[in-house]
Structure 1
Amino acid sequence: MGAVEDIEGLGMKSRIGASAIIAGVVSLAGATASSTALAQTGPTQFEQSSDATAPLPPVRTDRSWRILRDRWTATDEKAYEDFITAIGESNCRTTDQCLKHAANVYRGSNPRGVNYFADCADLPYTLRGYFAWMNGLPFAFASAVAPNGYTRDVRYVASGNRIIEKAVVINWPGQQPMDGPDVLRRVSNYVSTAMYRYHPEEKRGLPADHYSSSVDPRSIRPGTNIYDPNGHVAVVYRVDPDGRIHYIDAHPDNSITRGVYGRKFVRSRPTMGAGFKNWRPVQLVGATRAPDGSLVGGRYTYTQNSDLEDFSVDQYFGTGAQNKRQWQGASFAFNGQRLDYYDWVRTAVAGRNLVYDPLTETRNMMRGLCDDLTYRVYAVEEAVSGGINRKPQPSRLPQNIYGTSGEWETYSTPSRDARLKTSFVELRDEIARFVELVETGSERVKYTGTDVRADLLSVYRQEVAACSITYTNSAGAPVELGFDEVQKRLFDLSFDPYHCPERRWGATDPAELASCRDGNTKRAWYEAEQRLRNQTERTYDVRMDFSLAQLRSGVNGSGKSSPPDIDVVGLLTSPAPQIRADIEGTVAQ
């Protein structure tokens, strides 16, 4: 029988938070080995295929994964881009919906009774694997990593990981082909964000499934992956001509959301592997043709970084002279113009010097935030539907509220809320920057009005009026909140899934809270978690299994005493000297 190459390990992905370490190897694979496929012995060179221009294979008609070609061709890669774009542009809200949606041209070949699941780390692999399955293409994925240093959790190790085992799709002569849904299930069991956390030039272990790509219009494309070392991964589905990068991402509750690349994806030390990653080409070599035309047997090889046309480490070390010991001081420039990292990404992806329209940029950011608030409605509803808010409050928080497992991982929202808060901070900071650029006569902005602050305020208020969300309270009644109201409450929104929906949405008014069924204990926890709600940073390397008493005492690691400033109206209506000082302070950070 065909098999995914498997390895022996300790536990499934749900146990990553307590991964066992034996002889320096942390295994994320399944508990049993059932493979007769050849084990990988180390990095090998990619060998050219003789059918590089072959047309796409016919769509499969059952669960079997028959490999019809030994490598992905340029035609396959373009079809994959189209597949990703179509899903991104659709209105699907879960991985299962997306793969059964009218936007998926392969939906008619989905076997009956199969449901698809992916969290953020799984999503890129699930989409890539599904496309490969449907088109008879080879597929391999990392199934185990080893940390380059001590860690309690390989998803957040500062020194990064190296890939030590791969699982590969290989069929065997005279045996049934692999089962496609079973491969995707194994992806969900094995893959975590640890598989993305490696130095771009890591030479130990096996080649990673992805590589650090150039930041340019050719390389950043639908299907490119974006890794946030704070434990999140997204998939690019569209790149606008002005360099705005649109992505889809998944969450532990299987939901799919959409967004635009920005400062919520942090730049960090190269060992953590943050940034843009494209899929490393693989080839099945040494296979033979079966009577039905499929490939059987063989082994997998992987393209080396040195043989990849668009491999680059510029996103880590800058575009000028690169000092790989001082990555924090890297400089980024495009056509001789020195830029902030995020400005450089957008400009480089656009492939031209950009001139920003402050009013359009503000409008786009506001609409993106409105979408984010809508997605949060779904996230809170999932916790309520699961009855989590009716369960007793645990006596302690998880060991780390941002990276854990179980109910908290599936239904809490501290990471999602932190990204949301970062986007609100970014909105204020960007508006401040646009004012500074206009008032100093910069050529990087296009503005023909006479009062940029008044015009920005007008756009802001228009978008505020156009955005509202509606949540369902504990009594089953709808509660509508406008954008400005949510912004006022932003740091009161509870990330704790054991709290009532009213507190999940930051209610403080007694009338709105009247339907909340939380008792005194949950109210006390809500109040004590305020410092954690005040912070926008996601601190994965800090123990946070605090008791109520520890939170009340403000123990180290329990957050900040006050939140950052997100007041756009106050910024734009301040007297000129004050707003100028605010702008200069923001730009200098």
Structure 2
Amino acid sequence: SRNVLFNHLGTNEDSLTLSLKPDCADFVYFLRAYFAYKMGLPFAYSNCSRGAGGAPPRCNERFDILHPQLTRPAPPPEQAVASAAAPPAPAPAAAPTNLLQQLFSQPQQVQAGAPAAPAAAPAKPPAPKRPAGVAGYFRAVGDVVHSGSVRAPANSDKSDFYTIPLTQETLRPGTAYADPYGHVMMLVQRIPQTADAAGVFLAVDAEPDGTVTRKRFWRGNFLFANGASLGSPGFKRFRPIMRENGGLRALTNAEIARNPDYGDFSLEQSQLSAEDFYDRMDEVMSPEPLDPTRAMMAAIMALEEQVKTRATAVENGRKFQNGGRGEASMPDGPAIFATSGAWEDFSTPARDLRLLIAIDVVRGFPDRVARRSDRYAMPFGRGLAGVQAQLQSALASELAARTFSYTRSDGSAWTLSLKDVMDRAADLEMGYNPNDCVELRWGASDGSAEAATCTRRAPAAQRAKMTDYRNWFRERHWPHA
């Protein structure tokens, strides 16, 4: 793939090395800010809480690109904002013409021998400093935004996003998806339904370990639940920012609904149950009834992609172990799903809980076809029981045939099938700790040939906490702080 905006401004602006580590919500904001920077468009973001104590996220002050020196407000009590130092940006090669270039251009260096500026009188506290170049601005944005910024309630005009109806027209590239439990993705492509295959929505996301992956829409990747404390999950678009009276202003929900250029604000998703949401998305992706076998194969393929993505994450954890950086500290309680440091980068509790949900979806697919036979093009002359039996047989065969390999602790490869992963679902309930060997994280049983190369276990205190938290995974229940 190629970045079509590379050096778009003609000032060699992409020759700088941007040391950015987008994670989840940061990723969608970075993409938005980068596009705005290149195209000279307005950009803004809000300081939001994460939500706690039964309350949803709440957004407060909004910051915009016209005032780059004002980027880091005092955060709400429950929001931990990390401070990142920005390296100095080099002086521009030519006078900038783009508005954002002007905002971030650096002053010319004082020539040797020039008269020294008079000393400033120490009367007022120093004014806020603008970030050092675009890279510094991106870092400042990343220090403030988080997944709660995208989950803010749909009826709020202060949020950075607004919810949309579920249609093929509104679910276009650039649409963000807010997971109710703290993850964010962005749609990049819709593949229409054909006579041979179901329709597909493709999205991308970023993880703390530095991976950026493509994911297809399905229940295993896109979790959905409505609840007062969760805010508003679902598909959303960035709130339009308008130039007005020499400044920037975000449109309200009512203005978006009335504006002929938008007109797509909707509270539809906030009124849907999880089953209604997924049924509606099935209708949007594939308006025509699906062949049940092909639909099941698509679900198996999605599960396979999810397993292979986890393999990359577990491998990153193995490399962390081999790097001699010591053990990753394990937080307490629900913080295992949202923290910082090595645990955030290399543990997989959120990924594994989603994988367990995905396993349930695939395992129960034949039963779903029986429950929702109206959504499927059932074979002529075949009874429902016969279709179910055929799907069960095809499922078992396909899971056994699809394999992948992971690298064991000694560097050797070990091959597992999707059937192995399904059979080890109970072991994966405690497979997320990066301080355990990779064999244990993949559910290898004690005394087996697979586990013979395991030489590392998480500390006993961490294993005890994992045992206490196991019901969250067994019951597929995401805990709240």
Q: TM-score, normalised by structure 1?
A: 0.61
User: Is the Cα contact below 8 Å between 2:405 and 2:413 reproduced in 1?
Assistant: yes
Tell me the distance in 2 between the aligned counterparts of 1:524 and 1:502. 17
The aligned residue for residue 403 of structure 2 is 468
The C-alpha deviation readout for 1:526-570, integer Å capped at 9, x for no partner, is: 8836545424222132xxxxxxxxxxxxxxxxxxxxxxxxxxxxx
The aligned residue for residue 316 of structure 1 is 270
The alpha-carbon deviation at position 118 of structure 1 amounts to 0.7
The aligned residue for residue 537 of structure 1 is 477
User: Is the Cα contact below 8 Å between 1:244 and 1:346 reproduced in 2?
Assistant: no
The alpha-carbon deviation at position 313 of structure 1 amounts to 0.5
Superposition RMSD in Å: 3.0
The alpha-carbon deviation at position 409 of structure 1 amounts to 1.5
User: Is the Cα contact below 8 Å between 1:245 and 1:261 reproduced in 2?
Assistant: yes
Q: Please say which of residues 454-463 and 225-234 is displaced more in the overlay.
A: 454-463
Relative to 1, partners in 2 of residues 1:174 and 1:375: Cα closer, same or farther, differing over 3 Å?
closer
The aligned residue for residue 177 of structure 1 is 103
Relative to 1, partners in 2 of residues 1:238 and 1:463: Cα closer, same or farther, differing over 3 Å?
farther
User: Is the Cα contact below 8 Å between 1:212 and 1:311 reproduced in 2?
Assistant: yes
Amino acid at match of 1:247: A
Relative to 1, partners in 2 of residues 1:262 and 1:427: Cα closer, same or farther, differing over 3 Å?
same
Tell me the distance in 1 between the aligned counterparts of 2:356 and 2:149. 27
The aligned residue for residue 106 of structure 1 is 5
The C-alpha deviation readout for 1:442-474, integer Å capped at 9, x for no partner, is: 474343473313432343245324422211111
The aligned residue for residue 145 of structure 1 is 48
Relative to 1, partners in 2 of residues 1:174 and 1:283: Cα closer, same or farther, differing over 3 Å?
closer
- 1:274 pairs with 2:236: no
The C-alpha deviation readout for 1:61-81, integer Å capped at 9, x for no partner, is: xxxxxxxxxxxxxxxxxxxxx
Tell me the distance in 1 between the aligned counterparts of 2:302 and 2:390. 20
The aligned residue for residue 434 of structure 1 is 369
Aligned match for 2:319, one of 373, 376, 385: 385
Structure 1: unaligned runs, 5 residues or longer: 1-101, 147-153, 287-297, 319-327, 331-338, 542-589
Q: Where do 1:377-526 residues align within 5 Å?
A: 377-387=311-321, 391-392=326-327, 397=332, 400-438=335-373, 442=374, 444-448=376-380, 450=382, 451-493=386-428, 494-510=431-447, 511-518=449-456, 521-522=459-460, 525=463
The alpha-carbon deviation at position 244 of structure 1 amounts to 3.5
Amino acid at match of 1:515: T
Secondary structure of 2:300's counterpart equals: helix
The aligned residue for residue 357 of structure 1 is 291
Relative to 1, partners in 2 of residues 1:399 and 1:230: Cα closer, same or farther, differing over 3 Å?
closer
User: Is the Cα contact below 8 Å between 1:156 and 1:194 reproduced in 2?
Assistant: no
Tell me the distance in 2 between the aligned counterparts of 1:258 and 1:420. 15
The alpha-carbon deviation at position 502 of structure 1 amounts to 0.9
The aligned residue for residue 214 of structure 1 is 165
- 1:369 pairs with 2:303: yes
Relative to 1, partners in 2 of residues 1:213 and 1:407: Cα closer, same or farther, differing over 3 Å?
same
Relative to 1, partners in 2 of residues 1:458 and 1:449: Cα closer, same or farther, differing over 3 Å?
farther
- 1:255 pairs with 2:215: no
The alpha-carbon deviation at position 198 of structure 1 amounts to 2.0
The alpha-carbon deviation at position 176 of structure 1 amounts to 4.7
Amino acid at match of 1:500: C
Relative to 1, partners in 2 of residues 1:364 and 1:156: Cα closer, same or farther, differing over 3 Å?
farther
Tell me the distance in 2 between the aligned counterparts of 1:423 and 1:508. 22
Secondary structure of 1:311's counterpart equals: coil
User: Is the Cα contact below 8 Å between 1:383 and 1:497 reproduced in 2?
Assistant: yes
Aligned match for 1:231, one of 158, 179, 182: 182
Secondary structure of 1:130's counterpart equals: helix
Secondary structure of 1:158's counterpart equals: coil
The C-alpha deviation readout for 1:236-266, integer Å capped at 9, x for no partner, is: 1122334533221111112122323333412
The C-alpha deviation readout for 1:276-298, integer Å capped at 9, x for no partner, is: 11111112334xxxxxxxxxxx3
Tell me the distance in 1 between the aligned counterparts of 2:333 and 2:299. 33
Query: How many residues get paired?
Result: 395
Aligned match for 2:31, one of 127, 142, 148: 127
The aligned residue for residue 9 of structure 1 is none
Calculate percent identity across the aligned residue pairs: 28
Relative to 1, partners in 2 of residues 1:198 and 1:114: Cα closer, same or farther, differing over 3 Å?
closer
The C-alpha deviation readout for 1:568-589, integer Å capped at 9, x for no partner, is: xxxxxxxxxxxxxxxxxxxxxx
Secondary structure of 1:218's counterpart equals: coil
The alpha-carbon deviation at position 182 of structure 1 amounts to 2.0
Structure 2: unaligned runs, 5 residues or longer: 9-13, 69-98, 105-132, 194-198, 257-262
The aligned residue for residue 160 of structure 1 is 56
Tell me the distance in 1 between the aligned counterparts of 2:141 and 2:358. 31
User: Is the Cα contact below 8 Å between 2:21 and 2:210 reproduced in 1?
Assistant: yes
